[in-house]
Amino acid sequence: MTSRTKYLLDESDLPTTWYNVIPDLPEPPPPPLHPGTREPVGPDDLAPLFPQALIAQEVTQDRFVDIPGEVLDVYRLWRPSPLYRARRLERALGTPARIYYKYEGVSPVGSHKPNTAVPQAFYNAAEGIRRLTTETGAGQWGSALAFASATFGLECEVWQVRASYDQKPYRKIMMETFGATVHPSPSKETAAGRAVLEKAPDSTGSLGIAISEAVEQAAADPDTRYALGSVLNHVLLHQTVIGEEALLQFAQAGDTPDVIVGCTGGGSNFGGLAFPFLREKLAGRIAPVIRAVEPAACPSLTRGRYAYDFGDTAGLTPLLKMHTLGHDFIPDPIHAGGLRYHGMAPLLSHIYELGLIEALAVGQQECFAAGVRFARTEGIIPAPEPTHALAACVQEALRCKETGEEKAILTALCGHAHLDLPAYAAFLAGRMTDNELPESVLAESLAGLP
């Protein structure tokens, strides 16, 4: 064991391929269905929304997909990202565990989202598209697509969930600084938005509604496509650069992870970190426990149903087989805006059903307590989303303290909180609740499954 704190890779170690876990699974995930025919959707159904290259990646059976040189060029602005050993946190916890975190906050917008925003913008630009639309919750994804669009000369229009638009003015400014246009969602610009506003003029919005708005706009204009920041296979594919780098960094450290934890909103940062390790596990080379962590207020994996459901509220998307709380479900406005989504990536849902990963839900107070502890020891204030992973990390490290086990724990620190600081103010002032999801609310929303 070396005593280093930071594991950096050289630019030449930047992965040149993304990893597709699907061919390595014992069975393939169920396909998306057309809501009318309930038949599997084909490329033509998706063409109004996505460029051909991404549609191809969505269904590819190749284990590895080449990363275009133009994308690598932009990745190099911040990648490879560092892997840290959290020695100061370990000491503060008095644990024999070794805690490692892969830090994606070094990206232009402070999270893992540009890993997929950049290739999405690239493929759209390459196919002559002029404008991208998208939704954003926490604002991380909207910022990422704004940055990526600026890079490849695309216009970018973002529907930002109203609650976050109002609470997080800094995110909007960041998107505008990168040249994007930002609308609060629900908005009057779309039929989907107007329908919501008619029933609930004060609606604070949800990711599901914002997706409907962005999809509607893209479908209506042949020069415009839609970009999704999580959930889909191609998004998880792009995020595997995280795990591929982490594998190299663990080799550098001369260590092997026993436990891998990550937070799951739509599943992309978690899948991105975990899939390359899952490949090694399926090949019998390592045997880590892999654990997804979600908020108690929006527990799609642990309390949702595994069923076909829409990806958005208005029902404009194909039906996806996933763990879902129901597409009508509007989660409480917890501070981890990026985890407020009713569904979970179909690929991750499938892998969970196969028993290859575990899941648990955590209340937000425990998460922020872990976040503050982390900030005061490691110096990075974690975004509200990855505080969920850190809370699970702390749980594991404290178990190791009791049992004396010297486990190596790896977590995805998928973003910093610079633009989410009001959440910490609420926590420090004792103004934060755990927003548990009542059984009755869940039952009602599941009753609306298609």
Ligand X SMILES: Cc1ncc(COP(=O)(O)O)c(C=O)c1O
Interacting residues toward its own copies by CB under 8 A: 4-6, 8, 10-11, 74, 76-78, 84, 88, 106-108, 110, 114, 147, 150-151, 169-170, 173-174, 176-179, 372, 375-376, 378-381, 418-419, 421-422, 424-425, 428
The single residue among 82, 267, 288, 346 that binds ligand X, judged by CB under 6 A, is 267
Whether 191 and 158 have beta carbons less than 8 Å apart is answered as: no
The single residue listed with the structure tokens 């996933």 is 322
Residue 415 in contact with ligand X, rule: CB under 6 A = yes
Amino acid at 213: E
Would residue 231 be called left, alpha or beta, if left means φ above 0 and alpha means ψ between -120 and 50 degrees? left
Minimum distance, C-beta of residue 375 to its own copies, in the bound complex (Å): 5
Beta strands at 289-295 and 259-263: parallel, antiparallel or unpaired: parallel
Does an H or E element contain 84, and which? strand 83-85
Closest CA to 170 of 340, 350, 337: 337
Minimum distance, C-beta of residue 77 to its own copies, in the bound complex (Å): 5
Residues 6+ apart with CB under 8 A from 166: 184, 204
Whether 280 and 256 have beta carbons less than 8 Å apart is answered as: no
The single residue among 95, 140, 212, 300 that binds ligand X, judged by CB under 6 A, is 140
The single residue among 383, 392, 408, 446 that binds ligand X, judged by CB under 6 A, is 383
Q: Which stretch binds ligand X (CB under 6 A): 20-28, 80-88, 268-276, 436-444?
A: 268-276
379 binds, among its own copies, ligand X, none (CB under 5 to 8 A by kind): its own copies
Residue 293 in contact with ligand X, rule: CB under 6 A = no
Residue 265 in contact with ligand X, rule: CB under 6 A = yes
Q: Which residues, numbered 208-227, are part of the site for ligand X (CB under 6 A)?
A: none
425 binds, among its own copies, ligand X, none (CB under 5 to 8 A by kind): its own copies
- R_g of the chain computed on alpha carbons: 20
Distance (Å, whole) CA 121 – CA 151? 8
Question: Helix (H, G, I), strand (E, B), or coil: what is residue 214?
Answer: helix
CA angle at 79 for the pair 73 and 84, rounded to the nearest 5° = 175
Residue 300 in contact with ligand X, rule: CB under 6 A = no
Minimum distance, C-beta of residue 185 to ligand X, in the bound complex (Å): 14
Cβ distance to ligand X smaller for residue 110 or 186: 110
Q: Which stretch binds ligand X (CB under 6 A): 191-199, 208-216, 258-266, 321-329?
A: 258-266
Minimum distance, C-beta of residue 172 to its own copies, in the bound complex (Å): 8
Does the CA dihedral 230-205-195-223 come out positive or negative?
Answer: negative
Question: Helix (H, G, I), strand (E, B), or coil: what is residue 133?
Answer: strand
Question: Helix (H, G, I), strand (E, B), or coil: what is residue 160?
Answer: strand
Q: Which residues, numbered 97-126, are part of the site for ligand X (CB under 6 A)?
A: 111
Whether 124 and 218 have beta carbons less than 8 Å apart is answered as: no
Residue 184 in contact with ligand X, rule: CB under 6 A = no
Minimum distance, C-beta of residue 76 to its own copies, in the bound complex (Å): 5
Minimum distance, C-beta of residue 190 to its own copies, in the bound complex (Å): 25
The single residue among 269, 300, 324, 387 that binds ligand X, judged by CB under 6 A, is 269
Amino acid at 302: T
The binding site for ligand X (CB under 6 A) comprises 111, 137-138, 140-141, 230, 263-270, 338-339, 383, 385-386, 414-415
